[in-house]
Chain A
Amino acid sequence: MSVFTKLTLTEFRLTLRDPLYAFFTLLFPVLLVLILGNVPTMKEAPPELGGLRVIDLYAGLALGLAIGIIGLQGLPSVLATYRERGILRRLATTPAPPVTLLAAQLVMNLVTVLVSMVLVYTVAILAFDVPFPENPALFLLAVLLNCAGAFSLGLLLAAVAPTGKTANAIGTFLFFPLMFFAGLWVPRELMPEILRRIGDFTPLAAGQDLMTDALMGQSPALLSITVLVGYLVICGAAAIKLFRWE
């Protein structure tokens, strides 16, 4: 087994030992769909949603919630803690470079999102007749791009935050407005024009739009793709440039 695989598996095991984190990233999104799916108004299809029911949107939002928690709260605080506690420094003295641990964390978190996706959509499709994505390949790409936006923002946070606690605090501070723009409280389609326009340029909202496009089989919005790739390139490059190993 390669060092990278071994590190990734270890990171998985350690993450699952944090019951709260495992709950919020794997179980909570499913629970959210289960609860909301049983609210009668959720099955309505207001004309603004272009044929979708509210619950169809909320399946995506539940997954977006997991992506937000992982990218903005989990990833930055774990990586900043690894630096703070000298774990990256210790690795730097071994033949396994510390960047391997960063990569293992990213892959582990990406897989967590994909598992969460399967759980959420299995329940949503089977229990509440949420449609299977018209364009599954684009849907998967939309999920990955949504992760790219949130994770690169999280990486930048990990790069600049002095401690794990600060990283977590800033991440939580960003999480709520970004989830708001993504439509967790009011679906984007029902928001006033100005809020929707602002949302277009935030990562979780852009990811949400792409997922909705794929679900309905529409061609993806170029703006959303540009915004997410932009976050990936700009935040990713800044994170690489600013990352401190100790």
Chain B
Amino acid sequence: MTVIEVQNLAKRYGETVAVRDVSFSVEPGEIFGILGPNGAGKTTTVECIAGLRTPDSGSITVLGSTAGDPALRSRIGVQLQESELQDKITVREALELYSSFYPNPADWRALADDLGLTAKLKSRFGKLSGGQKQRLSIALALIGNPEIAILDELTTGLDPQARRETWELISGIRDRGVTLLLVTHFMEEAERLCDRIVVIDKGAVAALDTPAGLVERTGNEQRIRFRPSTPISDELLTVLPEVRELRRNGPKIEVVGTGNLLHAVVSVLARNGVVAADLTLEQSTLDDAFVHLTGKE
């Protein structure tokens, strides 16, 4: 059974087309990522799923109901971009208040504990750091014991340390059996957390795959840099079927290729009595895949 089914979603604001044609489905218990450049239509897509906007055409089914059905609001937790609280409300008051909205809320004390907010229960929202605000926001998205949690640009504006802590949390949320829909434009975040990713570009699906699958689409290009202990000719390496390109940069050589490139290069060098010093290997990342798919840096 799929948890979310989006079919041929389209949405425009006046003359601006936000989403042209987006389809995907999310399976129970997975962390599903929506990746794309700014303005690609990611947020509009999740807002339609959350029932905040009505699609112009196409259909969205969430937990067996049409998106926007008020009954879904107690079954979906949503953390929206740029959605704050009153400056003077304390963490405890917010948790208590929001848990009173739901028929079957989670224990807010345990939730605060899981999210590292226990020491901050008496603090006012306006006094919290960016990371603490974000964790409270996640707590509020989870407080109704939702079956699905939608988290939009979760770690934008956080420092690297807070970002890593938030990632830990997300993995923990999946262990509760919650299906997660994650909107992001951070490649590292998507690569580390998501089971599957849909890449949206200019309002349409550019690719839908696992992070590894997306990387493979770039041809799994690898890049080796090293300094040979004795001079070698280009031909020594360019004859190898794995090598596509060879560049020299002062005493350093850079080899670009695919397949088992490292093994092939090192073997040839060894056979010729050459030692590769300062050797580094760079493999394609989701970043490369993203650039490859959307043509954007």
Contacts and interface: CB of A to CB of B under 8 A. Distances in A.
Interface of A: 1, 3, 6-7, 10, 13-14, 17-18, 82, 85-87, 89-90, 92-96
Q: 3 shortest A-B CB distances, which residue pairs? A: A86-B83, A93-B78, A96-B101
Q: Which of B85, B86, B103, B140 has the most CB of A within 10 A?
A: B86
A86 B291 CA distance: 32
B84 A86 contact: yes
B83 A10 contact: no
B97 A93 contact: no
Contacts of A96: 101
B281 interface: no
A93 B84 contact: no
Contact of B83 (A18, A89, A95): A89
Contacts of B77: 93
Given A87-B85, A93-B76, A10 B93 contact: yes
24 contacts: A3-B100, A6-B100, A13-B93, A14-B86, A17-B88, A18-B88, A82-B86, A86-B82, A86-B83, A87-B83, A90-B78, A90-B80, A90-B83, A90-B85, A93-B52, A93-B76, A93-B77, A93-B78, A94-B73, A94-B98, A94-B144, A95-B103, A95-B144, A96-B101
Contacts of A17: 88
Contacts of B84: 85-87
A3 B51 CA distance: 21
A139 B89 CA distance: 36
A225 B239 CA distance: 96
A100 to B, nearest CB: 9
A7 B82 contact: no
Contacts of A85: 83-86
B74 interface: yes
Contacts of B101: 3, 94-96
A128 B70 CA distance: 56
B89 A10 contact: yes
Nearest to A246: B52
A14 to B, nearest CB: 5
Residues of A contacting B: mostly: helix
B92 to A, nearest CB: 11
A14 B82 CA distance: 21
B86 A89 contact: no
A7 B88 CA distance: 14
A95 B74 contact: yes
Nearest to A6: B100
Interface in B205-244: none
Given A10-B89, A93-B51, 5 more contacts: A14-B88, A14-B89, A82-B86, A89-B83, A95-B102
A92 B100 CA distance: 15
Nearest to B102: A95
B73 A93 contact: yes
A87 B140 contact: no
Residue of A85, A89, A92, A93 most packed against chain B (CB within 10 A) = A93
Given A13-B93, A86-B80, A95 B73 contact: yes
Contact of A1 (B70, B89, B100, B140): B100
Question: Among the interface residues B83, B89, B97, B103, which one has the most CB atoms of the partner chain A within 10 A?
Answer: B83
Contacts of B100: 1, 3, 6
A86 B73 CA distance: 17
Contacts of B103: 95
Contacts of B102: 94-95
Nearest to B73: A95
Nearest to B75: A95
Contacts of B82: 86
B14 to A, nearest CB: 15
Interface string B84-119: 111011000100011011110000000000000000
A125 to B, nearest CB: 34
A92 B52 contact: yes
B50 interface: yes
A90 to B, nearest CB: 4
B183 to A, nearest CB: 14
